[in-house]
Amino acid sequence: TYPCNNFFPNLQYLSLAHCRKFTDKGLLYLSSGKGCHRLIYLDLSGCVQISVDGFRNIANGCSGIQDLLINKMPTLTDRCIQALVEKCQQIMSVVFLDSPHLSDTAFKALAECKLVKVSIEGNNQITDLSFKLMSKCCPYIRHIHMADCPNITDASLKMISPLKHILVLNVADCIRISDGGVRTFVQGSSGAKLRELNLTNCICVTDASVTEIAQRCHELTYLNLRHCENVTDAGIEALGNMSSLISIDLSGTSISDMGLRSLGHHGKIKELSISECKNISDTGIQEFCKGTKYLEHCHVSYCPQLTDEAVKTMAFHCHRLTSVNVAGCPKMTDTCIQYLAAACHYLHVLDVSGCIHLTDKALKYLWKGCKQLQILKMLYCRNITKQAVLKYTAKLEKQEHNDADPPSWLGYDRDGNMLTFTNKHTSEPE
């Protein structure tokens, strides 16, 4: 930090992420020297050696910081944030991912700043009180990411519903969020402006929320309902009329072919994820893809009913595909890869792990037709040889392959026969 301090007096952006060899003393130079006083962006992710004194030193030397990133910092405490905010009151954006010891006390200090972005993840100390402070002290906040914070409830969403400028809301893995909170929020002042909404694993959310979202959120482009298992075709049908929607994740929901058909109505979706949707068949994919020529990302992994016919329709109607995931679809054969290679020349990423019937022919098709392919995953593909992998994937940026039998958690055996499990999982010890 000493050279930075003396030789870069106009430095505005500084990342010390995962640098472990400097100490609080090094940060003292920030306040004592000529340089770094103009910092507006600082990343201290993973710098677990910094104590409260270190943060105080930063505050004394860099009071103009606006963007603060401190990820993967289990040693970060409320006192660290308090020491920083004492003098750094121009902070507008904070990102604290995997900092489990921060609490509402830290947010009380941050509320003195005019925050426009907050990202906190993996924290069981933060409660509804932080949202209350946000609603009172952060009238211009635009981006709220409070994922995997299990003490957040519907009350939080109700408290921020009067705020007028929220564009991004992520409450993934906040399992106490339900229809009541979602309904109040989308009916509030930001509902019509919201661009991104992530409700991953909010298991209490149902079709009632999805219908409300479809009616209120006219600017929504990204919606994640992953593992919201109470969302069914009834809710998805309402989304079919949302012309703004370009990215949707319905993995692990109860959607069937009927819902997928409804979703394809407006034809503008670029990213679709329906992994682990056991009720989806070739028919649903065919109905969806026929009206969706802009599709770029299609993830249909672990949908055991799908066959080559689904990929055929995907390939010949969606020429812009750059990422396809059919992992865990045991009925796929070399023919599906032949379809992709013939029509999808912009393909960059492909995952065929667990597609047990694929052979070396599949790699030859890709080598000939998909010249832009960069990443290829082929785990549990026992009929693809190591020799073919070496021959046809040498120029790829990344490839993963093994010829092991599929593990039991995939739900089928080496021949593609579906497994039936008793109450006791087969891999559990006696």
pLDDT mean for each 10 residues of the chain (430 residues): 60 93 86 74 96 94 94 96 95 96 96 95 96 96 98 98 98 98 98 99 98 98 98 95 96 97 91 98 96 95 98 97 99 98 98 98 98 98 97 96 96 93 48
Rounded to whole angstroms, the Cα distance separating 302 from 276 reads 5
Q: Decide the pairing of beta strands 196-198 and 222-224.
A: parallel
Show the domains of the chain with their CATH numbers: 1-113 (3.80.10.10), 255-430 (3.80.10.10)
Which pTM does this prediction carry?
0.93
pLDDT value of position 374:
98
Residues 348 and 373: beta-carbon distance below 8 Å: yes
Rounded to whole angstroms, the Cα distance separating 125 from 134 reads 16
Tell me which residue has tokens 């394809």: 264
- The CA-CA-CA angle for residues 288, 290, 294, to 5°, reads 85
Rounded to whole angstroms, the Cα distance separating 73 from 97 reads 8
CA 254 to chain centre: 20
Which amino acid belongs to residue 6? N
- The CA-CA-CA angle for residues 268, 271, 273, to 5°, reads 130
pLDDT value of position 384:
98
User: Residue 312, SS3?
Assistant: helix
Contacts of 137 (CB under 8 A, 6+ apart): 111, 112, 115
pLDDT value of position 430:
36
